[in-house]
Homo-oligomer: A and B are copies of this chain.
Amino acid sequence: MELKKIHIIGLGLLGGSFALGIKKAFPSVKISGTDRNPTHLDEAISLGIIDEKSDHHPQGADIIIIATPVHTISPLLQKILDEIQPETLVMDFGSTKEEICKAISLHPKRQNYLAAHPIAGTEYSGPAAALPDLLLNKIMILCELEKTDLQLKAKAYEIFEALNMKIRFMEPHDHDNQLAFVSHLSHISSFMLGKTVLDKMENDKNIFNMAGSGFASTVRLAKSSPDMWTPIMQENKTNILEALNGYIKNLIDFRDNLVNDEYEELFDKMKNTNQIGNILDLKK
């Protein structure tokens, strides 16, 4: 099977990087795209991310990719499923999956949809931040794979294989719940760490002169786009609250250990958490 036409809605970091990755792996594929931000759309053309602008998905597209903020995905997906022909696969890249899968579960063309979430990103956004190798070797989570037509999902697999992505299968609820812990919580942790030091800067204006690479690493995600992250907070509220409450509790316990001079407790907690290094290294 030869991929010919791909259409991408949302040409930011992820949509743009996917387009560049596809162009590198399949130079003959024609990529059209759209973005609600006209500046980004112009940039996507001038940066060679897409071949042509198109508000409407082209007739006979192999794949339509929705890479927009999560709250816009369900309505877009409904509309596209209503309109597409049987040979087109629609795939979204949202950071939450449960609500989207539920919203279209009874759609007569449910089998034309593949629920996907590539675990890839940087703290930057927009087409100028797109990188041809962003998706290379990364994890791609797929949900409810059994509900997607066999021949249609083969089109997506062709791309995933070309980008050497590692495929993982999850139920939508488990995806949203676990992502709250390993991704969404990291963003909140980073944003609030940044805010705490910015608050402090009101009295100590040169405080950032003292910041080293450790601070930069923990606060890097605080540069992320609130346009993307506010909808994620909203869509994944319940799971994020579970993760955030667990985190706050651990911080309060740590604080209380410190208040009470319980240094052995602090040592043991840090020592025990050191194992995360081995776990993350093994994963590589």
Contacts and interface: CB of A to CB of B under 8 A. Distances in A.
Nearest to A283: B208
A258 B241 contact: yes
Chain A binding surface SS class: helix
Contacts of A27: none
Given A218-B221, A248-B252, A182 B195 contact: no
Interface stretch (A36-44, A77-85, A225-233): A225-233
A275 to B, nearest CB: 7
Given A209-B283, A233-B263, A191 B269 contact: yes
B219 A186 contact: yes
- Copy tally for this chain in the complex stands at 2
Interface string A106-137: 00000000000001111100000000000000
Given A209-B139, A247-B196, A255-B245, A214 B183 contact: yes
Contact of A214 (B186, B196, B269): B186
A164 to B, nearest CB: 16
Contacts of A199: 246, 250
A1 interface: no
A187, A272, A274 interface centre (most CB from chain B within 10 Å): A274
A73 to B, nearest CB: 17
Interface stretch (A53-61, A150-158, A173-181): A173-181
A188 B217 CA distance: 13
Contact of A182 (B215, B269, B273): B215
A273 to B, nearest CB: 4
Contacts of A64: none
B241 A195 contact: no
Given A219-B186, A222-B274, A270-B229, A243 B212 contact: no
A89 interface: no
A274 to B, nearest CB: 6
B280 A208 contact: yes
Contact of A196 (B185, B219, B272): B185
Contacts of A191: 254, 269-270, 273
Interface of A: 119-123, 138-139, 141, 168, 170, 174-175, 177-179, 181-183, 185-200, 204, 207-224, 226, 229-230, 233-234, 237, 240-241, 243-248, 250-252, 254-255, 258-259, 261, 263, 266-267, 269-277, 279-280, 283
14 contacts: A123-B277, A178-B207, A185-B193, A189-B251, A190-B218, A192-B251, A193-B247, A208-B283, A211-B280, A226-B274, A241-B259, A244-B251, A244-B255, A248-B248
